[in-house]
Amino acid sequence: MNGEVPASVQAIYDEVLHRNAGETEFHQAVREVLESLAVVLDRHSEYTEMKTVQRICEPERQIIFRVPWQDDRGEVQINRGFRVEFNSALGPYKGGLRFHPSVNLGIVKFLGFEQIFKNALTGMPIGGGKGGSDFDPKGRSDAEIMRFCQSFMTELYRHLGEYTDVPAGDIGVGAREIGYLFGQYKRITNRYESGVLTGKGLGWGGALVRTEATGYGAAFFAEAMMKVRGESFDGKRVVVSGSGNVAVYGIEKVHQLGGTAVACSDSSGYVVDDKGIDLELLKQIKEVERGRIADYAQRRESADFVAGGSIWDVPCDVAMPSATQNELDGDAAAVLAGNGCRYVVEGANMPATPEAVDVFREAGVGFAPGKAANAGGVATSALEMQQNASRDRWTFEHSEARLAEIMRDIHARCHETAEEYGSPGDLVLGANVAGFLQVAEAVHAHGLI
Ligand code: NDP
Ligand code: 2IT
């Protein structure tokens, strides 16, 4: 990754750099995919001829808008909203909305770009998109969140539709926000269009297991990886960064599968709990009270809070980075590998830096990229769309069984594709190539658009 980009894709990469100056996360995501695609272009000259890769690197549409709202003190606030409708070859644009002060166009584009291939890997009919705002929900009242969501949707609604673009949650956007967004969409359009958003409340069109799906899916994916090496979660120590939606349900499934999650974090630091994370307490603090991870250590005798620092210093067998991009760098990767970590499974999008991925490759640590390992969330969103379209409602057991099957299929596809393209065990290459081939075939079939 740190060396040269393969010659056959260098010009494509240069063009992306030139056209998207300063968007470092987007460059990073594109580069990783391009490095995998050199072997594909050798076999498919039609994709070079028709500039298929270049077309996939250019979003179909990028929407940037002003979001004005008033806070509880009456002060006027202005945020910036984004929706990047990246690729609709396989279905309506599909991907989450992120509300976090760090959000900018480059971050939304990296997420949207990853989403194209992730969504292809699910095997469901969904294209790729992503959106969000630099709005910071931390410390905001419910009323402020609602006013922000209403203002955000007042612009975004005209770009959405169950056959056009279907957002969901991501960092800072959960069921509460989806509720306010849906309410405003319904009010403006005068349509009860359930399939326009996913991650809805269970009482009004939401699907069972969508809340749990990303974390559960990542654990199912890890299980499939271990099975190849004749191993399981049984008795394994697991470190999960973050303590949001993905982390909480990743921990829940790890525990159900026989592992023990011993650490988790938020942006203020991490907790270590050698007895295993008490999930009920974690949910109470994070989901009910919307508190901080330090509160967990205060209320649990076996736990210690470490302010700041790196959660990757905690020795483990399995690491599941589930907070944000580039949270696990080369140094942290070396510490993890040195402490005997055998598997790294990305619950977040692009949490491991390219240097970290190199370290894992060299150390023989099994590595699962986010676009494969965290695809359970969006896959279950597609199941929610399916239920909405047919006015149906599936049981928890049925939905979870579908999710588990989808994750096993994604793993198998990545694993087999890596072998077919000469890099056995390289799930990064397998995910990129398998996802790309599915999108590229559809792009090609649709003609020059
Ligand atoms: P949440 O908002 O529920 O939780 C995010 C967690 O990550 C929080 O603990 C938060 O800490 C921490 N975090 C966020 N940003 C930073 C940062 N800059 N530095 C340190 N910690 C940070 O989000 P999700 O759990 O939904 O998302 C987590 C990751 O998973 C993201 O990368 C997202 O893109 C990805 N993902 C999410 C899916 C979903 O369905 N929700 C699906 C697939 C991937 P704090 O509260 O202190 O900010
Ligand atoms: O990154 C992701 O896959 C998500 N945030 C979920 C997207 C979705 O549409 O469910």
Q: State yes or no: pLDDT of 304 exceeds 60.
A: yes
The type of residue at 329 is D
Report, in angstroms and rounded to the nearest whole number, the Rg of the chain calculated over CA atoms.
21
6 & 81 share domain:
no
Who lines ligand 1 at CB under 6 A?
A: 100, 102, 169-172, 214, 242-247, 266-268, 322-324, 347-349, 374, 377
pLDDT digits (tens, 9 = 90+) for 184-227: 999 999 999 999 999 999 999 999 999 999 999 999 999 999 99
pLDDT digits (tens, 9 = 90+) for 254-300: 999 999 999 999 999 999 999 999 999 999 999 999 999 999 999 99
**Rounded distance from Cα 245 to ligand 1 centre (Å):** 7
207, part of any domain: no
What stretches of 190-325 show up as alpha helix (H) in DSSP?
210-228, 245-256, 279-283, 293-298
Please report which helix (H) or strand (E) contains residue 401, including its range.
Answer: helix 396-420
What are the φ/ψ torsions at residue 22 (nearest 5 degrees)?
80, -5
Residue 255, domain CATH: 3.40.50.720
For 329, residues 6+ apart whose C-beta sits below 8 A from its C-beta are 353, 355, 356
Helix 354-363 to helix 24-43 angle (10° resolution) is: 50
306 & 331 share domain:
yes
Known binding-site positions: 94, 115, 118, 169, 214, 245, 381
Q: Is 137 in the pocket of ligand 2 (CB under 6 A)?
A: no
23 & 140 share domain:
no
DSSP state of 340: T
Which of ligand 2's atoms lies nearest the C-alpha of 119?
A: 3
Domain end residue (candidates: 344, 364, 384): 364
82 & 49 share domain:
no
Among residues 21, 278, 42, 328, the alpha carbon closest in space to that of 9 is found at 42
158 & 145 share domain:
yes
The first and second tokens of residue 237, run together, are 């120590």
Place of tokens 């994916």: 221
pLDDT digits (tens, 9 = 90+) for 76-92: 999 999 999 999 999 99
What is the chain's percent helix, strand, coil content, to nearest 5? 50, 15, 30
203, part of any domain: no
169 & 183 share domain:
yes
Domain end residue (candidates: 364, 383, 416): 364
* pLDDT for the residue numbered 307: 98
Q: How confident is the model at residue 3 (pLDDT cuts 50, 70, 90)?
A: low
* pLDDT for the residue numbered 222: 99
Residue 187 belongs to domain spanning: 61-193
For the CA of 171, the nearest ligand: 1
Of the residues 28, 130, 133, 246, which should be mutated to test ligand 1's pocket, given the most ligand atoms within 8 Å of the CB?
A: 246
Please tell me which residue in 130, 236, 286, 371 is annotated as part of the active site.
Answer: 130
Residue 275: active-site member? no
Say how far apart CA 365 and CA 375 lie, in whole Å. Answer: 21
Residue 14, domain CATH: 1.10.285.10
* Cβ 430 vs Cβ 414: under 8 Å: yes
53 & 87 share domain:
no
For the CA of 346, the nearest ligand: 1
Average pLDDT over the chain reads: 98
Q: What is the mean pLDDT of residues 414-418?
A: 98
Q: How many domains does the chain have?
A: 3
Say how far apart CA 427 and CA 449 lie, in whole Å. Answer: 31
52 & 65 share domain:
no
Among residues 187, 189, 201, 132, the alpha carbon closest in space to that of 162 is found at 189
393, part of any domain: no
- The angle formed by the CA atoms of residues 384, 387 and 390, to the nearest 5 degrees, is 150
294 & 239 share domain:
yes
Domain end residue (candidates: 162, 193, 224): 193
34 & 65 share domain:
no
Q: In the sheet where 260-266 sits, what is the strand order?
A: 303-307, 269-273, 260-266, 237-240, 318-320, 343-345, 366-368
Helix 354-363 to helix 330-338 angle (10° resolution) is: 20
Prediction pTM value: 0.98
